[in-house]
Structure 1
Amino acid sequence: MQNTDNYVVGIDLGGTKIAAALFDSKGEILNRERMETANARTAQEVVQRMVEMIRSVSQGRTLSGVGLASPGAVNSRDGIVLHGTNLPEWDNVPLKKWMGEALGVEVQVVNDANAAAWGEYVRGAGKGSENMVYVTFSTGIGAGIVLDGKMLLGTSSFAGELGHNIIDPNGPECSCGSSGCWETFASGTAIRDAALQLMQTRSSLITELAASQDEAASAKHVFEAYKQQDPVAVEVVDRAIHYMALGLANAVHTFNPDRIVIGGGVSKAGDLLFPALKAKTEQLVMKPYRGTYEIVPAGLRDDVGLIGAAALFHTS
């Protein structure tokens, strides 16, 4: 009997690690591997490692394709990493061409935020929606957009950089070189920095909570202190929720989604975040948009990049 299963390998490439997984046609993970990237200095060396991982993880099965999620600026149409964030010597790397020639299969390459968005749309919290905005509030703010069931790429595959929408031109300087980008107000880093600034002159539970866990203060500790109604934490979180909602309201007005999926470390605040974020966003959007969308936490966890990369071939 002929084997009609449709095997795909998903790759999640990061600055410190490479994760690979073999998926069957149902999107189930059959095998996985993980490797550090620290000792691979050039793009060619990293690509060779990925090729070896794909051959190993596929265990001799014939593949229908390889989906790859890469950090940085990616030309998805041509499969070229224009600039790899946290990847030295990664400029204009033709991943699709190099890996396709080495493996003899179709390779698709997307930015990691787009991979996460597509994974959530196909197999996660976005499943069943038609128009979805995915936002991850973490060190920065990443996003991916699905409109009418298709990933929005834009002319250069750069669409969806919502974190660098400027919401206050007089705001803090951003790592991108501009000032007042959304992520300078609403990312996990922004929440931490706002708390640290206030704690220069005011005492807070945030310091005690971080010390008790032998960790540097972070957005996680801010939300833990917020749960106990620590005044500094309350001020910081209320401000952050306002700016998070402001950016989401802009996304609602721009894309008219039926679902907004929220991921990233800040989303782990759960009930401390979502009710207030939903209420504030609904307050900020224009009246015709109210009740036309839902805001939900992401459904996929650490495997979202792998799942999204594989889902470039599996869409059912």
Structure 2
Amino acid sequence: MSEYYLGIDLGGTKILTGLGDGEGNILASSRRDTQAEMGEKHVINNIFKTVEDVLKKAGIATGHIKALGIGSPGPLDIKNGIIVENSNLPWKKVHIVEIIENKFNIKTVLENDANAAALAEKWFGAGRDVDDMVYLTISTGIGGGSVIKKELFSGYSNNACEIGHTVIDPNGPLCGCGNHGCLESFASGKSISRMAKEAVKSKQSDLILELADGDMDKIDAAVCAEAARKGDKTAAEIFSTTGFYLGIGLGNVVNIFNPQLIVLGGGVMKASDLFLDKALEVMHQNALDASLSVLEVKKAELGDKIGLMGALAVAMKERLIKNG
């Protein structure tokens, strides 16, 4: 009998649930708005509806589902299946695994979304041919996950690989985590937006504001990238600065993990032509030659599917390791 798995990509704006087979092929999916402002019970009900939608579309009963994986931002208590807190949801200590298992009687596994994405790229994306890799997502913030000997390395309390919160300049900007000078404060979508707004306020760039329709709130990494590609020197310099600091972060990753592969994903990578060469140059200046000699750096392959594929990979983890 075929094995089927469910994955739930739980985000602040959307819930995406999919049914996959044992090879990681998505057979059916359902998306609903999270509607976080409606409260915990409403969000959980939306999760239930996406699962029910998918099972109905596929014509498969819950008894044929081997496992269900959930990818969620943290902090999480993975051992006990609890979402401790989520900045995008009005939640505190939600026993999500117990809730799902009680509703559907399906074995359920919870994992940090960045770790889940690392698993997905390992088994279905850019890392399928390696045993040791680090995945970095460069989006609004910077997240990461590491795979060692084909298995996810989560750390003692499941908080490993918070590469975005490695401090690279203790005198740097305040980060959302409370520290100063985290990598995320220098090389993320949030930091690009901050630097672009500062440039507009100090009259260094009119084009950035023009491309944002004169609205400071619309200035983001995509607007800054458009300005850079149209020849705005200040915007180009912002991406050069981003590449410099990302390169320092990548050098640290190489020296700590000695991976075969670093996979770079996330929305900011759509502008990689503006900063990746600089990042790799700085990485090579800062990392040990012995580790660089065995290293590859690739862009993520799964694109917009990575959240759902990550959740499915979490559900399939035991099978993937056994068959890997």
TM-score scaled to structure 1, two decimals?
0.92
Per the TM alignment, residue 174 of structure 1 is displaced from its structure 2 partner at its CA by: 1.0
Contact (CA 8 Å) 1:204, 1:231: kept in 2 or not?
no
Per the TM alignment, residue 286 of structure 1 is displaced from its structure 2 partner at its CA by: 2.0
Paired residue for 2:33, among 33, 36, 39?
A: 36
Paired residue for 1:81, among 80, 83, 89?
A: 83
Query: Which residue identity is paired with 1:196?
Result: K
Paired residue for 2:67, among 50, 65, 68?
A: 65
Q: Separation in 1 of the partners of 2:106 and 2:124?
A: 24
**How many pairs align?**
312
2:17 — aligned with what? 20
Q: Separation in 1 of the partners of 2:4 and 2:290?
A: 44
Per the TM alignment, residue 309 of structure 1 is displaced from its structure 2 partner at its CA by: 0.9
1:216 — aligned with what? 218
Per the TM alignment, residue 230 of structure 1 is displaced from its structure 2 partner at its CA by: 2.4
Query: Which residue identity is paired with 1:124?
Result: G
Q: Separation in 2 of the partners of 1:111 and 1:264?
A: 15
1:118 — aligned with what? 119
Q: Separation in 2 of the partners of 1:262 and 1:57?
A: 30
Tell me the percent identity: 37
1:7 — aligned with what? 4
Any gaps of 5 or more consecutive residues in structure 2?
none
- 1:221–1:39 Cα change, 3 Å: closer
Contact (CA 8 Å) 2:36, 2:43: kept in 1 or not?
no
- 1:11–1:292 Cα change, 3 Å: same
Matched, 1:55 2:52: yes
Contact (CA 8 Å) 2:70, 2:108: kept in 1 or not?
yes
Contact (CA 8 Å) 2:242, 2:275: kept in 1 or not?
no
Matches within 5 A, 1:158-307: 158-199=159-200, 200-211=202-213, 216-307=218-309
Q: Separation in 2 of the partners of 1:39 and 1:243?
A: 34
More helix by share: 2
Per the TM alignment, residue 215 of structure 1 is displaced from its structure 2 partner at its CA by: 8.2
Q: Separation in 1 of the partners of 2:315 and 2:127?
A: 17
Matched, 1:154 2:155: yes
Any gaps of 5 or more consecutive residues in structure 1?
none
Q: Separation in 2 of the partners of 1:215 and 1:201?
A: 17
Deviation sequence 1:205-248 (CA, Å, 0-9, x none)? 32333339998222223223333442212321111111001011
Query: Which residue identity is paired with 1:253?
Result: N
Per the TM alignment, residue 64 of structure 1 is displaced from its structure 2 partner at its CA by: 0.6
TM-score scaled to structure 2, two decimals?
0.89
Q: Separation in 2 of the partners of 1:268 and 1:175?
A: 24
- 1:286–1:203 Cα change, 3 Å: same
Contact (CA 8 Å) 1:75, 1:110: kept in 2 or not?
no
Query: Which residue identity is paired with 1:33?
Result: S
Per the TM alignment, residue 257 of structure 1 is displaced from its structure 2 partner at its CA by: 0.8
Matches within 5 A, 1:95-106: 95-106=96-107
Query: Which residue identity is paired with 2:88?
Result: N
SS at match of 2:259: coil
Contact (CA 8 Å) 1:9, 1:58: kept in 2 or not?
no
Q: Separation in 2 of the partners of 1:40 and 1:206?
A: 32
Q: Separation in 2 of the partners of 1:142 and 1:281?
A: 18
